[in-house]
Structure 1
Amino acid sequence: MVASTRNAPFVRAEILPPLPAPVSENTVSGWIKTNLLATPKDVLLTILALAVLVWTVPGIINWLFIQASWTGSDRSVCATIVQGGAQPDGWSGACWAFVSDRFQQFMFGRYPIDQRWRPLLVAVMFIALLTPLLIPKAPHKGLNALALFVIFPVVAFFLLHGGFGLRVVQTSLWGGLMVTLILSFVGIAVSLPVGIVLALGRRSNMPVIRTACITFIEVIRGVPMITVLFMANVMLPLFLPTGWTVDNFVRALVGVAIFSSAYMAEVIRGGLQAIPKGQYEGADSLGLSYWQKTLLIVMPQALRLVIPGIVNTFIGLFKDTSLVSIIGMFDLLGIVRLNFTDASWASPVTPLTGLIFAGFVFWIFCFGMSRYSGFMERHLDTGHKR
């Protein structure tokens, strides 16, 4: 029996004509149409943005590259007055000769020149161990992690500091990007496991453990990192037996690790609270112990959910290492600023060029961490949000 269409509000009497295939966003034209020209408002904003770029970019390129000084051994190559042109009666372009001349110092600080093969060897070992750990399909992850987080720090310490026949290099001579990377690596390697323990302790049913973790987290998060560094530098020796001393660099490492662990704990706790209650109940129904439930069921899901927060904490830690200059350590930014006082390179464009170089190095590392976190999110995505 054919259904009646008399009371239907609308019945199509003809077949729709074929429509053109949708524009793919994978093409350049499709991306432009979707993201830049989708609405009149988008078109207006795109035009304004292009106008700003046309107005600013040529001058920036001219200053950074065209009129820049690339070689030289003193400020004379960077102190030239430009008459007329794009920069009338102004100073010359960027002084990349300053960066080139002091590049090794920016990397290693005052580390002895004849011994700089040692931090280079440590850097090669670090890259060789870190690369397979970051590749999801690389085998032997457990051995790789053991080598990177247990064996490598010991070997790196003796290579950088000395011993076993190597000349001792005091940490007061360390500086530059080397110090930034060491502080960041130690802070990251310590903050993640300690943060997990603190997060679990804050959610513990035992009042003593829960109160201790809450007190530690809230006290550390309630003060600036500079305060924590000062406390580590001044108060840490007071808790040691008489006659014992702690190197200033070790004090900075302790301060950075303590500060980052408190922030990491709250990030991890947010992931634990996002896990549905059914996951806990399902693990209990299988007869799993607390640690089996936590390590095998809950924690992997929680860490996956808070990857952006974890990486954001890592990025903040990497940038905050510049604060160690307050206690006499010179990281990349600190050693760059220290060289501004050198009379042989005193020039109006030298400080700006040095800061641009330091900012670009920080951006490279932070952008790399950000992109890798995005890759891991996509790799570990199992449709939880769908």
Structure 2
Amino acid sequence: MVATAAHGLDYCEYRSTPHPVQIRLAPSPTNLFAASLHFIPSSLSLHTLTCLDTLSHAAHKEATFSSSVLASTPFYARPTAIAWANATVLLAAAANGVSAYKIHPDGEPQQSTEDEPELNPVFEHIGVHAPLGKGVALNAIDVHGLEIAAAGDDGRVAIARINGQLVRVMGGLDTSRIAALQWRGANELVTASSSGQLTLMDTRQSGPGLRLSDQAHAPTPLNCLTIHPSQNDKLATGDANGVVGIWDLRNMSEAAVERLNVHSGDVWDVKFHPDYPGKIISCSEDGSICIARWSSDGIDSNPSWEPTSGLVRYQSRLHPLGFNSIDVHAEANVLVAAGDGGAIVIHQLD
């Protein structure tokens, strides 16, 4: 394991709606909006993030960011995942299917109807569909162009268009729970499961897909995955033992896996930095957010940001609980995270 440098976080606050499941930044190069999905009560929130006067606040060791909830709306099912289809359309997965919302950050009122007399001025509900049938909970969703991929508790994956049209259902992909999935191109998906396996699927073909596992270690449930932004034969996963794995898929017959033991609990989310993919960011049940340096030659244990460390670990004295979700805004180089207890963290990366 590489050396570790501990750091604090710029900004941490607690929201009255606890148990955030996920937080995702809107894909806008200029605006800092984040959507968060919550348990108890089930709800969606839209946050606007603001960078304060960095120099004056830093001099007084004050927060350099502020956050405010622009709007919240009830979510009438157990929520599991959210994804932005574009800068103004947000998708939310749950036990009753996928709901789509048109986001109006300016909060302009929408036309009321007899069926929906009190539409939320920010969250305009534009549809819901259950691609795997009623009662099949969806664990993960991802969007590529106009197509949504949604993974169900029953091991199936549905491909549907944003307008709700079902394209196809791919069954029997994994007998265990699919915890995460991501598009690897226009016609290929990767899933990660509780069996510790990755499955690569061509959506134009029938069959179970190509299954890959770490041959050098005992299988460990995978919780999350992310694909390298420019090299789609590289991806990272987070597992139940606190390990971030970097997979090299160039040799499909035997995937090479680099392992980095960065956490002491479940890794719930992992991201390549979108502009600096040599940085892998992960968050965990142990209450830490870690940034590890990676290169195509493997894990780089040489100094990266600190003269004596190859791994940067962030923890907040205000938030000792686990972190469930992270995201990075490329242009602003800002990290957001959601944690147990309703905590929302915003941090300016180096």
- Shorter-chain TM-score range: under 0.3
Instruction: Indicate the structure (1 or 2) with the bigger Cα radius of gyration.
Output: 1
Normalised TM-score (structure 1): 0.23
Normalised TM-score (structure 2): 0.25
More helix, by proportion: 1
More strand, by proportion: 2
